[in-house]
Amino acid sequence: MSQIRKVRKAVFPVAGLGTRFLPATKAVPKEMLTVVDKPVIQYVVDEALEAGIEHLIFVTGRSKAVIEDYFDIQVELEQTLRARNKTAELTLLESILPLAGSTSFTRQQEPLGLGHAVWCARELVGNEPFALLLPDMIMKGEKGCLKGMVELFEHSGANVIAVEECAPDQAHKYGIVGVGEKIGEGFAITKMVEKPAPGTAPSNFFINGRYILQPEIFPILATQERGAGNEIQLTDAMVKLSASQTFAAYHFRGETYDCGAKDGFILANIAFALAREDIRPSVEGPLKTLVSGLK
Ligand code: UTP
């Protein structure tokens, strides 16, 4: 196991097909759908930067080139803004531009599953621990989810998976972990089960889409057979790795929105809009009227 305790690199798998969001995702990647006024991917990148991540690795696929463009400068647009003295807009664009050389893009040629997408990043990650953020899950909390996970990782050296509590009757929809002894702001994971049959879940703590993994996951993914959905599953590989390495759960105390699903995306837009001082006043009243008019 790598002795490195600093998490410098983050992997963003953005090669999925986004079938739950068709037809919107026919031509626009779901990571570029907008929550209030930023694409979903920007929220996730901001969370990574807040946690001290220095290198952003995107695993993309065909028709995802717009994500690469988004993280680059747009010369004509910036020239026009400059000519029109639009300083605030220019400053905004500069503030979201990653440091030169701090992004890498690789392609997953076929969408063979999340586990396969992560494996595609192996050369770019190298032999060090890395963060993995599912870019359609966006989080809202006092402390960024990944920031809390990095602290737990630096304290424990374990692989870290973020978890949240769900209603027990919803556990069959998620990856669920078994609860062991307390470690810092979390606990040791005794078990990982992907979508347990109703009534069989070891707890109601579900995996919410954030991981810090040791590089030993890569050789396991390389030989991992296809699992559920005929895809190479990350959870299956983590279960194998847990035979030789510790996995800790970081209990994230905030809200997660699955922006890859229509309901999660709509709720994210409402929640993030209501959290914005410039938008809340014009949204709150009409929203209350809409809800009170529901039959
Ligand atoms: P999802 O389960 O959300 O799959 O993937 P999906 O294909 O993107 O969306 P649906 O279910 O068809 O609507 C979880 C994450 O893993 C990435 C996705 O981009 C998403 O961030 N992924 C999934 C890949 O990068 N490659 C894959 O082959 C599968």
The pLDDT tens digits of the residues spanning 267-280 come to: 999 999 999 999 99
Backbone phi, psi, residue 81, to 5°:
-60, -40
Confidence check: pLDDT of 227 > 80: no
Q: In what helix (H) or strand (E) does residue 10 lie, and over which residues does it extend? A: strand 9-13
pLDDT the model gives residue 256 = 94
Average pLDDT for residues 159-168, to the nearest whole number?
Answer: 95
Which atom belonging to ligand 1 lies closest to the Cα atom of 110? 28
Task: Kindly compute the dihedral angle of the four CA atoms of residues 154, 235, 34, 287, in this order, to the nearest 10 degrees.
Answer: -90
Is residue 143 within 8 A of residue 58, CB to CB? The reply is: no
Pocket of ligand 1, candidates 114, 138, 174, 231: which has the most ligand atoms within 8 Å of its Cβ, to mutate? 114
pLDDT the model gives residue 2 = 62
pLDDT the model gives residue 109 = 92
Topology of 9-292 in CATH?
Answer: Spore Coat Polysaccharide Biosynthesis Protein SpsA; Chain A (3.90.550)
For residues 249 and 153, what is the distance between their CA atoms, to the nearest angstrom? 10
For residues 85 and 269, what is the distance between their CA atoms, to the nearest angstrom? 30
pLDDT the model gives residue 185 = 76
pLDDT the model gives residue 65 = 87
Task: Kindly compute the dihedral angle of the four CA atoms of residues 72, 73, 75, 76, in this order, to the nearest 10 degrees.
Answer: 80
- What value does the mean pLDDT of the chain take? 93
pLDDT the model gives residue 47 = 97
Which atom belonging to ligand 1 lies closest to the Cα atom of 13? 25
pLDDT the model gives residue 231 = 81
**pLDDT grade, residue 38 (50/70/90)?**
very high
DSSP 143: S
pLDDT higher at 211 or 61: 211
Ligand 1 centroid–CA 42 distance in Å is 17
Is residue 71 within 8 A of residue 99, CB to CB? The reply is: no
Nearest CA to ligand 1 atom 8: 16
Confidence check: pLDDT of 183 > 70: yes
Provide, rounded to the nearest whole percent, the portion of the chain with pLDDT above 90: 80
The pocket around ligand 1, CB under 6 angstroms, is made up of 13-21, 59, 108, 111-114, 116-117, 134-136, 260
Amino acid symbol at 264: G
pLDDT the model gives residue 224 = 80
Ligand 1 centroid–CA 144 distance in Å is 22
pLDDT the model gives residue 184 = 82
Residue with tokens 């006092």: 142
For residues 172 and 261, what is the distance between their CA atoms, to the nearest angstrom? 17
Pocket of ligand 1, candidates 11, 17, 173: which has the most ligand atoms within 8 Å of its Cβ, to mutate? 17
Ligand 1 centroid–CA 36 distance in Å is 22
pTM score, two decimals? 0.94
pLDDT higher at 59 or 227: 59
**Structure token pair of residue 285:** 């009243």
193 contact partners, CB below 8 Å, separation of at least 6: 175, 176, 177, 178, 200, 201, 202
For residues 158 and 281, what is the distance between their CA atoms, to the nearest angstrom? 44
Nearest CA to ligand 1 atom 10: 18
Nearest CA to ligand 1 atom 16: 114
pLDDT the model gives residue 271 = 97
pLDDT the model gives residue 27 = 87
Which of 179, 134, 187 is CA-nearest to residue 158? 187
Which of 248, 226, 74, 232 is CA-nearest to residue 150? 248
pLDDT the model gives residue 1 = 65
Confidence check: pLDDT of 261 > 70: yes
Burial class of 213 by CB neighbour count within 10 A (0 to 12, 13 to 18, 19+): buried
Residue with tokens 């605030």: 88
pLDDT the model gives residue 119 = 97
Which of 218, 205, 211, 87 is CA-nearest to residue 161? 211
For residues 43 and 53, what is the distance between their CA atoms, to the nearest angstrom? 14
